[in-house]
Amino acid sequence: MSFIMSLFMTCISVLLVLSSLILIKFSGMLEKRIKEKVAINVFLKDGLSEEDKLLLKEKFEGLYCVRSSKFISREAAEKDFLKETGEDFKEVLEYNPLPESFVLNLKDEYVTPDSLGKLSRALSSLPGVDEIVYQSGTVYQALNSLKTLKKYVFSAAIVLVLISLYIVYSTNRLVINGKRLQLETMKLVGARLSLIRLPIVMNGVIIGLAASCVSFGLFRTVNWWLIKYAGLPDFGFVDDIFLNAAILFSGPVIGFVAGVYAVQKITLKVQKILF
């Protein structure tokens, strides 16, 4: 009975650790996805030759922080304007006032307020560049929100890990209290303290390993069900080596740490047992 209870509680602990890791990984994926959507619009001066545009494109793509660049012609800009606003300025104007431009997508690690400011100033100094435009207010607000979110996620992860350790620790204390007669008998026959404590710690490690295996199977099953029947997108958690390793190793580690703390109160002093 004590084995089943310990296994069940350790499974809960492993799943709590897994939940904390998924929260951290998901917040990282969300941050990367938002940053990848950040783009800088580089508007060009009129009268640039094709050679000048090609040279600018090579300079843009040669920058360490630029992931990709796309040239937007006047005609393409007109189509985008019409699609977004539904207004045709040709009804009022006889010419296309929209300038040619490049749209630069940045590598996510460089999407920070400092990097965007430095890049904007550097691009403005290039010959042929007329204006640099990006939604700085929206970008900064999104980055600040992500920063706050990550703080909450890491805090929640730490709390979940501590709860998982406490659950297994409390379960071990209950098991130890249930074996008080056996432990006191071992003391009376002269057993060493390490001989008394070690089996309890090793039992926690073994139960932790079993809990990891159960949690591993449960994790893959639930993930498969959510993708196939609940229609959730596949975030690649099942194929993530770090998550899989964390599931398999967290159980034994939790069992060991909680077991070591749980046996600290066991001493060689013989306690009186009341029946």
Phi, psi values for residue 71, rounded to 5°: -85, 130
Higher pLDDT, 218 or 31: 218
pLDDT in tens, 185-235: 776 676 677 777 788 888 888 888 998 999 889 988 888 888 887 777 777
Asked whether residue 275 carries a pLDDT value surpassing 50, the answer given is: no
Do the Cβ atoms of 163 and 27 come closer than 8 Å? no
- The yes-or-no verdict on residue 253 having pLDDT over 60 is yes
For the chain, give every domain's residue range. Answer: 2-32+153-265, 39-133
- DSSP labels, 211-259: HHHHHHHHHHHHHHHHHHTS-----S-TT-HHHHHHHHHHHHHHHHHHH
Q: What span, in angstroms and rounded, lies between the C-alpha atoms of 70 and 106?
A: 12
Measured CA to CA in angstroms, residue 71 lies from 56, 74, 77, 114, 262 at distances of 10, 10, 10, 25, 65
Please name the residue ranges forming H helices in 86-192.
Answer: 113-124, 136-178, 180-188
Residues 110-163 have pLDDT tens digits of 888 788 888 888 888 888 888 888 876 676 787 788 778 888 888 888 888 888
Q: How far apart are CA 243 and CA 105, in angstroms?
A: 30
Give the pLDDT confidence score for residue 22 in this predicted structure: 85
pTM: 0.69
CATH class name, domain 39-133 = alpha beta
Q: What is the pLDDT of residues 70-125, one digit of tens each?
A: 998 888 877 877 777 766 666 666 667 788 899 998 888 888 878 888 888 888 88
Q: Which residues of 202-236 are buried (b: 16+ CB within 10 A; e: fewer)?
A: ebbbbbbbbbbebbbeebeeebeeeeeeeeeeeee
Q: State residue 238's pLDDT score.
A: 78
Q: What is the percent of the chain where pLDDT is above 90?
A: 4
Across 156-180, average pLDDT: 81
What pLDDT is stored for residue 213 in this prediction?
A: 92
Query: So what's the pLDDT on residue 274?
Result: 45
